[in-house]
Structure 1
């Protein structure tokens, strides 16, 4: 069914292309919103662009209300802009999936040949390839050009022992980013040791500029409120950019105001500061409004102009050119079997607090509040608080993966799955990461000021009032010895546990069992 109830703003701005009068068109997915990377013939010939809003896709998970709003608003704005630039536009809505919508279009336009770019996400790709199989030469697929690396050239390397660092150095050489000939700028490939400072008390953190919703965005907000009232998160105060021009302004702001401090405080956490000096640009990077090379090159230019130190710029380049590209290659190499991986055999449902944010643990409150309110928290909150807690409470990593996918505005399966199942939960058994990313309360206390405002004591190891991360961590070390011994350098944690007194070990087990027995699990 072609439902245009909430498309009045788009319909007022777009004159629907007549696909009966053309012999070819291009289908643009919601995460491919940048014509700069499409083939030259598309940009020169300007064939009709087909956009599809697929309600069944939006219903497949209870996605964050702000995520749905962002995805649809940015796509609608892009479609309007494309028409203004001379592209005929056919904007279609359906209660079904993308493949159903495309099939309907192809069946009702028997002379049309349709081109699509390989989707980044597996399910969308499979659905579109089914359409291609059904319609033969009338459907053409072209490679995805929104990334630096071609996965086919790298994915055979994905196996235990092949780490991101090897890939990253090769990509630095290939692109020439931060290179002096064959040597890295500054003499080091990686300045991670310089990027582990906690935020000083009273340190000024610039606020990220919010964008006021326009009529198109407000119409999407109304639609989400009506169609998805029970989805995750809150919709109030939607302030994300929804156009490339707005996203570029936010990139300028980051380069000028936060890049210099990005490196030193990359791993820091602070109360009521969910962004700190992070870019908060991944939301725009992952749907094409910004391109990975323009962010890297702007940062490198700032370094060359003495506006940002090498450790900040290298840290940002490593996140984009290194880690972001690497996890995409991992995804291509490991799918679809990796979806079911669960090396530690955890089967607990996700703790209810991931949905409500209700907990006495201050670090969890601070890490969940911005997710519920804005669909965002930075990578250390994701890794060392939320994923850490999931591991220590024996939560099924596949449930955590699903939650990250639906809860974060910047989340797509190709980036979430490797980070959750490969890195943070060790669910793949050590292919992506060399160890489980778990810690006691000491790490959180070192990298944040959370513990000073918590009802639990980070210095108390077991019993009433003790920080749950403390005893949960040592219980994990004891019960998951094999995971720590996969990499010999981590087996010392097992040795440390074994040296504890019988009394301490008993207290750890009792505290853990009591906490887990009282932990509410989500049953929705």
Structure 2
């Protein structure tokens, strides 16, 4: 394949003579940390193989910044490994990497290679075809980028074991924020303290921007040419792409934002997209930062009096609780869960998810950072973008696909459980105890978006009413069977039934008009 866009790799890594190597290790784009690999690799320094696959990059119209991040961070890591004394083979191909690996193994009979179980199902299946063809020359080792052993927990999770109890077990196992056998402060979580709206004019520290170097600029040029029709924008790329840069981001978050992370964890604000969130999921999910490192530093900040308990607990819970739990869920539910669609919705995703163009200010504000940066924090994802998808009766598999391609931190193992399990209730309640839908009141409570909107949050029906208001009650009525069976949500059906016939008629008419007029995304990619 033409190596036009590999100048920095080719000048930094020597050519490899495969006949001089007996052992090789294949490293995927989301496994960029040798500290998680067996010690013999660091000691013996076998040949390391990296493969850029154009076919993989085109399986979805991935966000351009996502492609830039993944390719640039992999190139930087490969160069760092070469500088550390590892022989490195960096290959670029139009094919999938399993085909490239088979070609290498076919040519060099004495070569034995090791790979770590991929976190994503399709990559796993592809690499296992390599094993089936070259069984005596290939070894698969367990994925070591997570804290929990999925095999230990997946049957319980599949049976509906709640994250809260998984999280408590992980706290006991890891010892984070534990006082003997009891949780620090006497409570397992402090969510009640973590639901404050951001006060007007409250100062929010900015996240440092990483200046693009020659390697990243070369990747940006390549992405713009090879993936020109993909989602999002590549300009103004500011993500960290090396471990050193990512650790700087971690330290910056601990020092400047962790203390107020808790109170404003669920807040949203006009023009302020990160607030006190860390954006560290981007680096955790490809190995530049390890989960233990992040938790260790957060706990240390609490012990040193530099961060309040509710903030530190909330941050650690996101990592050892939620992040680990959804990975176990993925292992337990795949591959059948890919087709989960509890409400049998068939509508395409609204066009605004691609264009960002809408009169709904909350949707515009939540889509803008995704289109521009491939990121938003969890409340816009859950309570605005996913909520609206449900209320507009969008096929949850369409939403799952969009989240997967649109977010820089998205991999199937983390996106699918959050979308098909948590936010859309597509799995019928295995992961979430109730559908996550709300009217505009929640958005108004947790943000200042409604003040800047053409629609009126105070109006419940009609042309200028907030669409979330009538769509919510329309959803409750249409899905009353699901809500009626749920002890936490059945009261909403009772509330709807108490409305006057006139109010119900207005809800139905407003919803029908909106759902008929909303533009749906039609382009097939």
For the criterion TM > 0.5, the same-fold answer is yes
Moved over 4 A (4+): none
Q: How far is the alpha carbon of 1:487 from its aligned partner?
A: 2.1
**Partner in structure 1 of residue 155 of structure 2:** 156
CA shift digits 1:5-63 (9 cap, x unpaired) = 21111101111322211111000000000000100111111101000001000011000
**Partner in structure 1 of residue 450 of structure 2:** 451
Q: Higher mean Cα deviation, 159-168 or 352-361?
A: 159-168
Q: How far is the alpha carbon of 1:160 from its aligned partner?
A: 5.0
**Partner in structure 2 of residue 370 of structure 1:** 369
Measure, in 2, the Cα distance between the counterparts of 1:486 and 1:326: 25
1:79-118 to 2 correspondence within 5 Å?
Answer: 79-118=78-117
Instruction: Tell me the secondary structure at the aligned position of residue 249 of structure 1.
Output: helix
CA shift digits 1:455-483 (9 cap, x unpaired) = 00001000120000000000000001122
Measure, in 2, the Cα distance between the counterparts of 1:430 and 1:379: 20
**Partner in structure 2 of residue 291 of structure 1:** 290
Q: How many residues align?
A: 523
**Partner in structure 2 of residue 30 of structure 1:** 29
Q: How far is the alpha carbon of 1:161 from its aligned partner?
A: 3.8
1:288-327 to 2 correspondence within 5 Å?
Answer: 288-327=287-326
Unaligned runs of 5+ in 1: none
Q: Higher mean Cα deviation, 53-62 or 156-165?
A: 156-165
Is residue 129 from structure 1 mapped to residue 135 from structure 2 by the alignment? no
**Partner in structure 2 of residue 212 of structure 1:** 211
* TM-score, normalised via structure 1 length: 0.99
8 Å Cα contact 1:292-1:320 kept in structure 2:
yes
Instruction: Tell me the secondary structure at the aligned position of residue 232 of structure 2.
Output: coil
Q: How far is the alpha carbon of 1:488 from its aligned partner?
A: 1.1
Unaligned runs of 5+ in 2: none
Measure, in 2, the Cα distance between the counterparts of 1:16 and 1:274: 44
Measure, in 1, the Cα distance between the counterparts of 2:366 and 2:131: 43
Measure, in 2, the Cα distance between the counterparts of 1:360 and 1:408: 23
Measure, in 2, the Cα distance between the counterparts of 1:25 and 1:522: 44
**Partner in structure 2 of residue 512 of structure 1:** 511
Measure, in 2, the Cα distance between the counterparts of 1:374 and 1:194: 29
Q: Higher mean Cα deviation, 104-113 or 506-515?
A: 104-113
Instruction: Tell me the secondary structure at the aligned position of residue 434 of structure 2.
Output: coil
Is residue 492 from structure 1 mapped to residue 491 from structure 2 by the alignment? yes
1:148-187 to 2 correspondence within 5 Å?
Answer: 148-187=147-186
Q: How far is the alpha carbon of 1:3 from its aligned partner?
A: 3.2
1:32-71 to 2 correspondence within 5 Å?
Answer: 32-71=31-70
CA RMSD of aligned residues (A): 0.7
CA shift digits 1:417-436 (9 cap, x unpaired) = 00000000000000000000
Measure, in 1, the Cα distance between the counterparts of 2:34 and 2:479: 48
CA shift digits 1:295-337 (9 cap, x unpaired) = 0110000000000000000000100000000000000000000
8 Å Cα contact 1:31-1:286 kept in structure 2:
yes
1:311-350 to 2 correspondence within 5 Å?
Answer: 311-350=310-349
CA shift digits 1:343-371 (9 cap, x unpaired) = 00000000000000000000000000000
Instruction: Tell me the secondary structure at the aligned position of residue 233 of structure 1.
Output: coil
**Partner in structure 1 of residue 383 of structure 2:** 384
8 Å Cα contact 2:158-2:329 kept in structure 1:
no
**Partner in structure 2 of residue 434 of structure 1:** 433
CA shift digits 1:84-121 (9 cap, x unpaired) = 11111010111010111111111121210010000000
**Partner in structure 1 of residue 187 of structure 2:** 188
8 Å Cα contact 1:160-1:430 kept in structure 2:
no
Instruction: Tell me the secondary structure at the aligned position of residue 373 of structure 1.
Output: helix
* TM-score, normalised via structure 2 length: 0.99
